Amino acid sequence: MKVLLVDDHPLILSALQAVIQNLGSTTTVVGTDSAAAARAALAADSDFDLVLLDLSLGDADGFDVLVEFRSTYPAVPVVVVSASDRASDVIRAIDSGAMGFVPKSSSHAQLHQALGLVMGGAMYVPPSMLGLEFGKGPHTPAAPHAAPLGANARPDEHQKLKSIEDIGLTPRQAEVMGLLLQGLPNKLIARELNLSVETVKDHVAAVLRALGVSSRTQAVLAVSQMTQGQGGFLTRRPAAR
């Protein structure tokens, strides 16, 4: 496994390198201390399996870098590792295409779990996110009657799902959900599955209905509730283009 770390704090960068290196003897870690250095590393060799990105960089806005990397290298999953644990930042990162969000206050075990899920094709959000509300930060989408995301994602007691399989998706809908959870827009999902955008919209709507949610972010949280502790929901990453 080849991992690119992007963090402008030398002590944290060194600590993350040590933690990631412990994932396995075949793990290669490349550390960069700026967005510019990370761009150069990816331009020289885009064959990375994972990017760990700090949001607070000295030469660029971390969210802008996240959007840029997801657009330029859609086959490379990005996990945000941030000192922030604000709900608004987690939601914005997921909406921008991050495959995971790990607060720097997390334990080594939590980081390993998060990276294991992401490398298996699943998504990871902090367990504390599963009951957070909209309206808690500057980047949180406005909603006239905001409700807890976890409440929106959770079915009633008698309807609780035991696994992803229980929601009854067709094979095609499951494929669409896997790509949706990776942050891909409908246009790229359509290209990946050789479908029309209108057909993808219909499948996305069916997936949201099956999960009992009304947005992609809520879908991520709903799936996280089902998969964390169950090995993760495996999705198919888009092939490199």
Characterize the bridge pairing of strands 50-53 and 2-6: parallel
Dihedral sign (CA 62, 65, 70, 75):
negative
Residue 64 sits in the same domain as residue 161: no
Q: How many domains does the chain have?
A: 2
Residue that wins the pLDDT comparison between 91 and 128: 91
Q: Specify whether 123 is located in the same domain as 154.
A: no
Last residue within a domain, chosen from 69, 92, 127 = 127
The pLDDT-based confidence of 105 (bands split at 50, 70, 90) is confident
Among 73, 96, 127, the domain boundary falls at: 127
Predicted confidence band of residue 18 (pLDDT cuts 50, 70, 90)? confident
pLDDT at position 146 is: 33
Q: What CATH code is carried by the domain that includes residue 194?
A: 1.10.10.10
In angstroms, the CA 92 to CA 87 distance is 8
Enclosing domain of residue 108: 2-127
Q: The CATH number of the domain where 93 resides is what? A: 3.40.50.2300
Domain-located, residue 77: yes
- Pick the closest to residue 232 from 131, 118, 145, 130 (CA basis): 118
Residue 194 falls in which region: left (phi positive, over 0), alpha (psi -120 to 50) or beta: left
Are residues 111 and 176 part of one domain?
A: no
Q: Is residue 235 part of a domain?
A: no
Instruction: Kindly state whether residues 209 and 153 are assigned to the same domain.
Output: yes
* Claim to verify: residue 204 and residue 114 sit in the same structural domain: no
Q: Are residues 184 and 214 in the same domain?
A: yes
Q: Is residue 138 part of a domain?
A: no
Beta carbons of 92 and 55 less than 8 angstroms apart:
no
Which amino acid, 14?
S
Same domain, 118 and 185: no
Q: Does residue 129 register a pLDDT over 90?
A: no
Residues 108 and 156 in one domain: no
Judge whether 120 and 181 are in contact, CB under 8 Å. Answer: no
How many C-beta neighbours within 10 Å does residue 198 have?
Answer: 10
DSSP E strand stretches across the chain: 2-6, 28-32, 50-53, 78-82, 100-103
pLDDT tens digits for 23-81? 766 888 999 999 999 999 999 998 999 999 999 898 999 999 999 999 899 889 999 99
Find the helix or strand (DSSP H, E) in which 186 lies: helix 186-193
In a domain, 140, yes or no: no
Convert the pLDDT of each residue in 166-219 to its tens digit: 678 888 988 888 888 777 778 888 988 999 989 999 999 998 888 888 777 778
Which residue has better confidence, 233 or 104? Answer: 104
Backbone φ, ψ for residue 228 (5° rounding): -65, 125
Q: What is the pLDDT of residue 163?
A: 57
% of the chain at pLDDT higher than 70 = 76
